Structure 1
Amino acid sequence: MTRVPLSVLDLAPISAGSSTAQALRNSLDLARQTEEWGYERYWVAEHHFVAAASSAPAVLVGLIAAATNRIRVGSAAVQLGYTTAAAVVESFGTVDALYPGRIDLGVGRSGRRRADALVGAEAHDRTDSARTVEGVLFPAPFSQAALLESPRLAASLGAVRQSHAQSPDFAEQLDDITAMLSGTYERDGVSLTACPGAGAEVELWLFGSSAGVSAREAGRRGLPFVANYHVSPGTTLDAAQEYRDAFVPSATLSAPYLAVSADVVVADTDSDARELAASFPQWVHSIRSGHGAIEFPDPKTVGTLTDEQYRLVADRVETQFVGSAATVSDRLIGLQKATGADELVVTTVTHDHADRLNSYELLGREWGLPRLRV
């Protein structure tokens, strides 16, 4: 059986008792190893004011590109609500100038706009019951409404943008990025050339969690799209359908190209994997409760959640694929069939770096990825 490519999503997580510097060194090591193990591309997330070292994706993309040779490296995703098209194009154009043909520019809306869209979708044409398709759970969508009331979230969102700044319309920002990359950008009747940036070989991707603006814009522009099952498993099928329904062939793609992400933990046995994943619920709870991601807890010492706390994270915990390589591979095959994904993106967070490496290596071997000769 021919399987779709596998890619990596890295949050550069900081483990309890570790440091930011070590998390970054771990990311560089994981990138080098997953390149050798045959993974297609290496995505880095953008998160701010939490226990993750991925707050500056363009910088981290450059560091990882410098530490590797073949694997494509990209952002998953630059949050356009916090920046300008010029800043994005110039920074990624700089990296592309040194590592041409290997850089993916993944973009999405800011966290607040994403959450607002999911809340708005709760009342409009959304399936509110859990579904199981190809043996994979697509739970009832999680409501972001309570999270939006978090004072910490409001403070962090305010800190990453200029005071009183108004974020441009998402579609307008995409227009500007596309024009700058192609060298056709104008403002107020004046031609402006992004340098670096114009003519860069970066691939533009859109990321989204729901059947909303990101999915539609990716389709209308004929761009590849990533549906975030690992963030919002209850809206993934709707996002994928929205993308396909809106798709218009372009110079980039003649047909839709969909990637779907998933949380996975792989170990030698199912029971070993469950032990490694034992602190995942507490980590997700720190995110869902509005605190922001804490340092990833040690599963040997972590406490248990109350029933009320677990209900807040049940959809994420129950859609994490945990087990041996064969077990997780079967779950990923089901996810691919259910969504029609052309590529799968796997993200693994464990307390110990060695366990994270082992998870990716075991899965890559089971999936039949072509290992590089070194």
Structure 2
Amino acid sequence: MSVPLSVLDLAPISAGSDARQALRNTIDLARNAERWGYHRYWIAEHHFVAVASSAPTTLIALIAAATESIRVGTAAVLLGHHTSAAVVEAFGTVDALHPGRLDLGLGRSGHRGDQLRSAGVPPVPNPDRRTEVRDGVVIPPPFIPGQLLDTSRIAAGLEALHLPGAQPLPYSEQVQQIRDLLTGHYTGSDGVHLRAVPGEGADVQLWLFGSSGGESAQLAGELGLPFAANYHVSPGTIVETVQAYRAAFRPSDRYPRPYVVVSADVVVAEDDDTARHLASTYPHWVYSIRSGAGAAEYLDPATAPPLSDHQLRLVGDRVATQFVGSPATVAARLDALREFTGADELVITSVTHRHEDRLTSHRLLAREWGLNHVRAA
């Protein structure tokens, strides 16, 4: 295939296991992903749920120490939970020991209003749009979670993550602060010049992440930054998201043209039937997220009860856009997604109950995609 493939990991916790094992599994998968030819290994940030990626910067430091060459990063640091100085100093610390390998991915979720309204999936128009298949890519109606989610758990989590009375900065302002701290141009409100030590001059790639054609996509374009579009989270908005980024793009020194990574959720096995069995509890996992309870432990397909029709309807868009099957089946669908979106790179996330099956999923796809023969820009 013609573009690099990367990994997005949440360090999921399987039913009957725990966070310690999930973190060991992440380190093991990262080492293998490097050996199989994946270009990047990104860690998501989630809190108070059954995934072990609540401290992504700490985790990427551990992954960088356990690997040699694969790029490692966040997908993404949720800026509403962190000060700009804390982000830059943390990345500067890791970069000092593993220079030139870090991707500093930033996301705007984490701001109280955003999460209470939509739990990270922005509201979009045209909720009555029907599912379409465009050039082999499933484009479902946008999911509007506001009327469906119980937000009480989200509110409690945000209260625990934020100091009393603290107000997150506007997203664009905080992104600029981070850029200024990295380049040594940060000045406080009183005119005092401050230097991030470590952090200033760190050789990190700055990325923005988004699920809509809103602020993140437009800001990434205006700043000439690379952008990651979340098809796996919000498949119904992928077209608008990518178009908004490209329309806003202004060339920068590092990126003379737009650079888009598109995400996809995959499960790969030796044959389609086996893959479908391994993926059969993915709807349960997505339902736990969309119900407002947060990501639950990932269930064993052999023992999980079936979901009701109502529950399945709530997750139908995500199930229809998960890429499940043999290596050839999944690679063909990923290539269609690449062609349809014009992606310069794809990032895949793959969750199964057993760690061995997750390893197999990544290994089979790497071989089918021909990763050892693909080079990134």
TM-score, scaled relative to structure 2: 0.95
The alignment partner of 2:224 has SS state of coil
Q: CA deviation at 1:147?
A: 5.1
Q: CA deviation at 1:122?
A: 2.7
From the superposition, tell whether residues 205 and 310 of structure 1 become closer, same or farther in structure 2 (CA, over 3 Å).
same
Deviation track 1:135-169 (CA, whole Å, cap 9, x = no partner) reads: 11010000021355421111112211111211101
Report the equivalent of 1:75.
74
- How does 1:207-226 map onto structure 2 within 5 Å? 207-226=209-228
Alpha-carbon separation, structure 2, partners of 1:113 and 1:63 = 32
From the superposition, tell whether residues 203 and 159 of structure 1 become closer, same or farther in structure 2 (CA, over 3 Å).
same
The alignment partner of 2:47 has SS state of coil
Report the equivalent of 2:317.
315
Corresponding residue pairs, total: 370
Structure 2 residue 256 is the aligned partner of structure 1 residue 257: no
Structure 2 residue 192 is the aligned partner of structure 1 residue 168: no
From the superposition, tell whether residues 173 and 210 of structure 1 become closer, same or farther in structure 2 (CA, over 3 Å).
same
Report the equivalent of 1:106.
105
Residues 44 and 76 in structure 2, CA contact (< 8 A), matched pair in contact too: yes
Residues 24 and 53 in structure 1, CA contact (< 8 A), matched pair in contact too: yes
From the superposition, tell whether residues 233 and 226 of structure 1 become closer, same or farther in structure 2 (CA, over 3 Å).
same
Alpha-carbon separation, structure 1, partners of 2:135 and 2:181 = 42
- How does 1:12-91 map onto structure 2 within 5 Å? 12-91=11-90
Report the equivalent of 1:136.
137
The alignment partner of 1:302 has SS state of coil
Query: Which segment is superposed worse, 180-189 or 258-267?
Result: 180-189
Residues 36 and 371 in structure 1, CA contact (< 8 A), matched pair in contact too: no
Q: Which runs of 5+ in 2 are unaligned?
A: none
Q: CA deviation at 1:127?
A: 8.5
Deviation track 1:308-357 (CA, whole Å, cap 9, x = no partner) reads: 11111000011000000000000000110111100000000000000000
Q: CA deviation at 1:195?
A: 0.4
Report the equivalent of 1:243.
245
Q: Which runs of 5+ in 1 are unaligned?
A: none
RMSD of aligned Cα (Å): 1.7
From the superposition, tell whether residues 259 and 122 of structure 1 become closer, same or farther in structure 2 (CA, over 3 Å).
same
Query: Which segment is superposed worse, 197-206 or 158-167?
Result: 158-167
Residues 136 and 331 in structure 1, CA contact (< 8 A), matched pair in contact too: yes
Alpha-carbon separation, structure 2, partners of 1:149 and 1:279 = 22
Deviation track 1:264-301 (CA, whole Å, cap 9, x = no partner) reads: 00000000000100110001100000001111000100
- Pick the aligned partner of 2:361 from 347, 352, 359: 359
From the superposition, tell whether residues 192 and 8 of structure 1 become closer, same or farther in structure 2 (CA, over 3 Å).
same
Report the equivalent of 1:96.
95
Residues 119 and 145 in structure 1, CA contact (< 8 A), matched pair in contact too: no
Deviation track 1:203-226 (CA, whole Å, cap 9, x = no partner) reads: 000000011110001000000000
From the superposition, tell whether residues 216 and 126 of structure 1 become closer, same or farther in structure 2 (CA, over 3 Å).
farther
Residues 9 and 347 in structure 1, CA contact (< 8 A), matched pair in contact too: yes
Residue identity matched to 1:27:
T
From the superposition, tell whether residues 120 and 65 of structure 1 become closer, same or farther in structure 2 (CA, over 3 Å).
closer
Q: CA deviation at 1:129?
A: 3.5
Alpha-carbon separation, structure 2, partners of 1:120 and 1:151 = 18
Alpha-carbon separation, structure 2, partners of 1:335 and 1:320 = 12
Residues 223 and 250 in structure 2, CA contact (< 8 A), matched pair in contact too: yes
From the superposition, tell whether residues 113 and 212 of structure 1 become closer, same or farther in structure 2 (CA, over 3 Å).
farther
Q: CA deviation at 1:120?
A: 6.7
